[in-house]
Structure 1
Amino acid sequence: MEFSQLRIFQAVAEEGSITRAAERLHRVPSNLSTRLKQLEEQMGVELFVRERQRLQLSAAGKVLLDYTARLFALREEALGAVQGGVPAGKFTLGTMYSTAAIHLPALLARYHRSYPAVNLHVQSAPSGELLEGLLTGRLDAALVDGPLELAGLDGVAFCQERLVLISDLDHEPITRAQDVQGREVFTFRQGCSYRSRLEAWYASDRAAMGRVMEIESYQGMLACVVAGSGVALMPESMLASLPGRESVRAHPLQPPFDSATTWLMWRKGMMGANLNAWIELQHTQPCNMA
């Protein structure tokens, strides 16, 4: 069993397709098929089953995927150890969209300047997908909505966000969910923690949400609200950065829905040199934790 085989196995598991994995790894599909078959023969088990034109992990494959992530992390840790703990190699950081846009640019620039030997990759997604990426080993660390109490994960607070509900300019003040009952709601797809918070806000007031329209960007949400057709929830810092913000009205929410803490999370026991360097840099440039 070689690291190159495990890298192919990991790519196919994450993509669910040999063709897409081949494109990601810049190889031909036949090469990946051969290497996977060799790996299965060496281990004496089938790692994938085909379901609806997509490759799904078998029970044995799921076990191997977990070990694969740990092996890659240990390899990076070993490289760092023999190099005197100097950050180097690949470091994949997941982040929520708003965090990436508002809080990360300066930190990313400093990290690149301070640790040029690190190949830093940043992936943006809803919190639910980021947590899945952490648990499967696809991500080394992730900035997610917290605090979280999940087995196998550690974390530190990163920043505090104030959340606001936005409406068209002419809307009356919104103090509770009943004030916007039945109105259209613009939000990210399922898995977004802010969407879950918004749903909980409606439920706490026994108010019915209107039709939910899934939008892939805060800019898109703002544009829809400006058109006067509904409401959206977003961090106040995100709203402040968007062109056209003066065309909507921001309504503060009541506790406990008025704020959220973003946490940096990682798998327990996986504190390598790259992650440790990020945390140290994060502490020297703290975000607003008010």
Structure 2
Amino acid sequence: MESHDLFIFKHVAVLRSISKTAEKLGYVQPNISQRIKNLEEELGVRLFKRNNRGVTLTRDGEILLDYANRILQLMDEAKIKINPDKWQERLVIGATQTISALKVPRILSSFLSVHHQINVKVRTDTTSMLLEQVVYGEIDGAFVTEPFDYSELKTVYTIPEKVSLISPKNHPDKMEYEQTLLVNSNPNCIYRKTLIHLSKKNSCNHLRIIEFDSLEAILQSVSDGLGVSLVPSDVAKLQKYQNEYKISELPEPVQIDFVIKNKNQQPKGLNSFIKFLLEEKY
């Protein structure tokens, strides 16, 4: 069993596709298929179940993925230990688009001022996709705002995020929650769910909802008088938009959890980041 075979196997497991793995790694598809076949023959088990949409791990494949993550992590640590000038400690974290707007950059700015030797990457996606990426070892941890039921994951730090209702400056003289609601297209978005809940709580049974895929589009639409939205207070108070709409901060914050895989040994970069969060108390 070669380390590069495990590297390829991990990519197929995460991407759930041999063709996507070949495209990402720059290989021809038969080469990827042969590497997986060699692994299965060597181990004497099937690692993937094939279907029309790609591949999914078998139970044996899930076991191998856990070991592959550990082996590849140890190899990275060995490279860093032997030649730190060439190989840097790495940290790959994920966050939803709204959290990525301000919260994550501010945290990373402070973190890297102390740990400048760590190579950091940030990936933005939906909570469900981020949680899967943590499970599969594609990212080290993720900032999320939704509950999860993965036994393999655990929350190591929680941030209370103040949120504000933003509404057009010249909105009609009626309850703000009766405006058109401008929300993220992800139905599980905590800001979307909270705004809809508040609207229904205030006897707004006939809601008009417009969905957007970007936070910038929501902010601009509120500024243009299209409707109201709920966003982190830090985002609402951005100087660019501060005089473009009304801001009403809610008394109850939203909970942001930093989630990692529940295992005994974590990468050094991740351990440094967790320690930083606990000490700085964001």
TM-score range, shorter chain: 0.7 to 0.9
> In the TM superposition, what whole-angstrom CA distance separates every residue of 1:189-235 from its partner, at most 9, and x where no partner exists?
13433333334434555644634433222111112223333322110
Amino acid at match of 1:266: I
Is residue 231 from structure 1 mapped to residue 228 from structure 2 by the alignment?
yes
Q: Are residues 30 and 241 of structure 1, via their aligned partners in 2, closer, same or farther at CA, if it must alter by over 3 Å?
A: farther
Paired position in structure 1 for 2:267: 272
| Aligned residues with identical type, % of pairs | 27
How many Å separate the matches in 2 of 1:242 and 1:216? 22
Paired position in structure 1 for 2:90: 90
Q: Are residues 211 and 81 of structure 1, via their aligned partners in 2, closer, same or farther at CA, if it must alter by over 3 Å?
A: farther
* TM value normalised by structure 1: 0.77
* TM value normalised by structure 2: 0.79
SS at match of 1:275: helix
What is the aligned residue count?
A: 278
Is residue 259 from structure 1 mapped to residue 256 from structure 2 by the alignment?
no
Where does 1:128-277 land on structure 2 (aligned, <5 Å)? 128-145=128-145, 151-157=151-157, 159-171=159-171, 172=173, 174=175, 179-180=177-178, 183-202=180-199, 204=201, 207-208=204-205, 210-241=207-238, 243-253=240-250, 255=251, 258-268=252-262, 269-277=264-272
How many Å separate the matches in 2 of 1:155 and 1:272? 16
Amino acid at match of 1:220: A
How many Å separate the matches in 2 of 1:105 and 1:232? 23
Amino acid at match of 2:226: S
> In the TM superposition, what whole-angstrom CA distance separates every residue of 1:96-138 from its partner, at most 9, and x where no partner exists?
3333332333543454565455332211223333223222322
How many Å separate the matches in 1 of 2:205 and 2:64? 44
Shift of 1:184: 3.9
Q: Are residues 275 and 53 of structure 1, via their aligned partners in 2, closer, same or farther at CA, if it must alter by over 3 Å?
A: closer
Q: Are residues 31 and 224 of structure 1, via their aligned partners in 2, closer, same or farther at CA, if it must alter by over 3 Å?
A: same
Q: Are residues 60 and 283 of structure 1, via their aligned partners in 2, closer, same or farther at CA, if it must alter by over 3 Å?
A: closer
Root-mean-square deviation (CA, aligned residues, Å) is 3.5
SS at match of 2:162: strand
* Contact 2:182/2:218 (8 A) holds in 1: no
Paired position in structure 1 for 2:9: 9
> In the TM superposition, what whole-angstrom CA distance separates every residue of 1:9-62 from its partner, at most 9, and x where no partner exists?
221222232232123223333321221111121222333333334333344434
